[in-house]
Structure 1
């Protein structure tokens, strides 16, 4: 059984490394052709360039020799780039399981209410709207071909090298306070666990929220990270006066509490890091 990952970023790479033993061959793409050789040397994966400036001619043949496909490449204004260039090749392939990584951003602002997969999507930002369109396109491919396509809506991703402790160490942390604001998070290893569970239990057309158990105010997580490590705690900054990029500010315009009951009950997922406390405790001694 062979794996192909479109978009070997933080999440795609962690999943591929965790899943390596299950596959005869792992192939994956990165956008930068210059990075492909370096990543291949680091991981042992067969790397391909796939992006606006490059498209490795071997990808079509790779897909014909693939059984499990993870799509982690983000959509653009023109839609999903993987489907645009390789939709026909995927449809004609023997690929049986397809996972599309999306975002809980497609739910938009829910006023802090608890939501689950039955909650209608109501994206507000342009990037979330194109994500929802990409979800629909992948699900349509599954319905048309009989392939098991699953959509995974991820909350804020953290893990080794990418977490509040690293931000504190590097002096990049801001303790921004907005009354009533909470975010869900998910450790990258728990994403990999969920994807592996879905491969074992495919359900065509499924949509899963992949998130932790405890949506929490961002300043609370920063304070816990500082307490764990003894690192200096940055001063509180009121959201209204905080220096944030337009994208970062837009995240604070959406407030929701996301349930993960479906991955636990249907896929049997037991999160290794059900809250930020377990996740940060495991990361505090890592670089």
Structure 2
């Protein structure tokens, strides 16, 4: 059986490890403090690789990198790149990126062949990190799969949970749409990449780009709550963080045809199937919740 190294053990990596633990003889993850995780050997990474992490990098059959780049670039490659390139393993390097690298297309449909000319600095850092991982793969003779993810949701991180917590926001901007993706479908895409040895760019998104308010309104209906009153973007903008404003700067519709060909149909082809399954699993069961509008900070 193979070994998996997760560089950054966040939401997506944890879910993948939970769903596919049986496929690996050993899973190693990293975090800033190296705090224990169930069934995963955790190692500390705070900017410099420890001897144990260097050994894990050399021994890993598969590497899943999910940490966001810093201003100076990818946080792991400076200290781990040589170990990853020197290792005898030739399994895939998988880098979780974002569809934000495409920038604004004015709502037009795009696929993996679209240019990556995003203007936002954090999106440019993603583009540079993608290129660095692909260069490492070429030097090491290993396939590199760059998975460009849509807006991630799933257990504990969804419109049902936001309504329950009273933090749901419904901001409306004419013509603006967003692609989303359930974390279990991200895990499925990762597994398909491993199984096929895929090398290249893969959009991991749902098939129905939709307005920001759509999942919140659907979640409210599932919970038997009144739909929150939409607030125009122009009115809500003053309360949004710079990161949130950069999110709203881009409008695009992203195709997932390549994903479907590689991994088959999504388990949750739109937010409706995903939220309905989460609701059936017990999320949003607090019927005392009241949706809030986007004027709430």
* Fold similarity call, TM over 0.5: yes
Is 1:177 aligned to residue 190 of structure 2? no
1:55 positional shift:
4.6
DSSP 3-state at the match of 1:24:
strand
- Give the TM-score of the pair, scaled to structure 2: 0.91
Match of residue 75 from structure 1: 69
Match of residue 164 from structure 1: 159
1:218 positional shift:
1.0
8 Å CA contact retained: 2:188, 2:263? no
Match of residue 215 from structure 1: 209
8 Å CA contact retained: 1:169, 1:231? no
Instruction: Map residues 11-160 of structure 1 onto 2, 5 A cutoff.
Output: 11-31=12-32, 33=33, 36-37=34-35, 39-40=36-37, 43-52=38-47, 55-95=49-89, 96-160=91-155
Per-residue Cα deviation, 1:53-90 (whole angstroms, up to 9, x for no partner):
x7543100111221010001111111111111100000
Per-residue Cα deviation, 1:102-149 (whole angstroms, up to 9, x for no partner):
000000001000000011111121110000000001111111221011
DSSP 3-state at the match of 1:248:
helix
DSSP 3-state at the match of 2:45:
strand
8 Å CA contact retained: 2:170, 2:216? yes
DSSP 3-state at the match of 1:81:
coil
Q: Could you list the runs of 5+ residues in structure 1 that have no partner in the other structure? A: none
1:264 positional shift:
1.1
What is the distance in 2 between the residues matched to 1:58 and 1:130? 28
Q: Could you list the runs of 5+ residues in structure 2 that have no partner in the other structure? A: 284-297
8 Å CA contact retained: 1:74, 1:80? yes
Q: Which stretch of the first structure deviates more once superposed, 56-65 or 171-180?
A: 56-65
1:191 positional shift:
0.4
What is the distance in 2 between the residues matched to 1:66 and 1:145? 13
DSSP 3-state at the match of 2:117:
coil
Query: Where do 4+ consecutive residues of structure 1 move more than 6 Å?
Result: none
